Amino acid sequence: MKQDLETYYADLRRNAVRQLEARRKACEAMDPGFAALQAKRGRVFSLPAQGAKLTLSTIRLEEEALLKRHDLPKDYLQPVYACSLCKDTGYVGDPVKKKCACRLKLEQREMVENARINERETFESFRESIYPDDASRQSALKIMAYCQRYADTLPTPNIRQLYLYGEAGRGKSFMGNAIAARAIEHGVESLRLTAYRMNEEVMRGFSTNVSPLPRFTQVPLLVLDDLGTEAMIPNVTAETLFAIADQRNMSRLATVYISNLNAAELAEHYGERTASRILDAAITRSIVFDGASLRTKKEERR
Ligand SMILES: [Zn+2]
């Protein structure tokens, strides 16, 4: 488990370097001045330490000026990390290192993380008595009836996407699990994936050269859980989610998205383009888990 996290961070850093190299190449193709500065940088290492430091900062200033001339931000040729606090190492502090907040969050998550379909969370094991009041119980029963109908008509339900959202601890993940478990009972191939695992598998795909994306986009039922709680890895997270939403949409495949974000927050978090695929009113039923009522997206807009 610990090793997994080290690999995860190493992959993140590798991604940052790869993105940086792509930007550098683009710059060098645009203006030979960039390549000249980079060559100068390469020769610095033969200088004595003090002079090297000075020369490096001069080169950096020249580079920033050059970037400015091309209307590019001055940090354009600096790596972009998923976590700027620890620069994707997982640790902060010098000389005493301690775990970065992003790492603590991951470790916590890792403990409860289970990408497989949980066999105990099924419609049969649903107990409405766990809800504290009558209104919540009624609401939960309604949601369950709807989700059960959805699951029983897979792989081609009437409305093929569900967007389950609301605060944590309202039973959204349970419902997603129950749908996947029922689908499997009916012989419909299903995958349950958290956004965190989605990130992780895409990053691993970079180092193994085996992309998980075809599986994410082609499995007959995908339950994508915990959207909005994962790290936003530059050029990875939002792009992967868009590819999943767009391609599943075009292939008319059933997808259950689960998130703590409402429609507006989803658009803000991943961009309008992605949100419009996930919340496409013609094919999506949005269900809020607020413990009080079952509302569709349409009703909410009124
Ligand atoms: Zn961090």
Which structural domains are found in the chain, ordered by start?
A: 2-111 (no CATH), 115-301 (3.40.50.300)
Residue 110 predicted with pLDDT over 60: no
Distance 47 CA to ligand 1 centre (A): 34
CB of 23 closer than 8 Å to CB of 76: yes
- If one compares 107 and 17, the residue with the highest pLDDT of the two is 17
Residue 111 makes CB contacts below 8 A (sequence gap 6+) with none
Eight-state DSSP code of residue 86: T
Residue 118 predicted with pLDDT over 80: no
Comparing 70-74, 128-132, 166-170, 246-250, the range with the smallest average pLDDT is 128-132
| pLDDT at residue 109 in the model | 63
CA torsion sign for 287, 290, 294, 299 is: negative
Is-cis flag, bond preceding 155, omega within 30? yes
Distance 111 CA to ligand 1 centre (A): 18
As residues whose CB is below 5 A from the ion ligand 1, the structure lists 83, 85-86, 100, 102
Distance 274 CA to ligand 1 centre (A): 26
Distance 90 CA to ligand 1 centre (A): 5
| pLDDT at residue 301 in the model | 37
In terms of average pLDDT, the best of 6-15, 24-33, 45-54 is 24-33
Q: How confident is the model at residue 293 (pLDDT cuts 50, 70, 90)?
A: very low
pTM of the predicted model as reported, rounded to 2 decimal places:
0.70
Average pLDDT over residues 42-70: 88
Distance 83 CA to ligand 1 centre (A): 5
Average pLDDT over residues 246-270: 96
Distance 89 CA to ligand 1 centre (A): 7
Eight-state DSSP code of residue 47: S
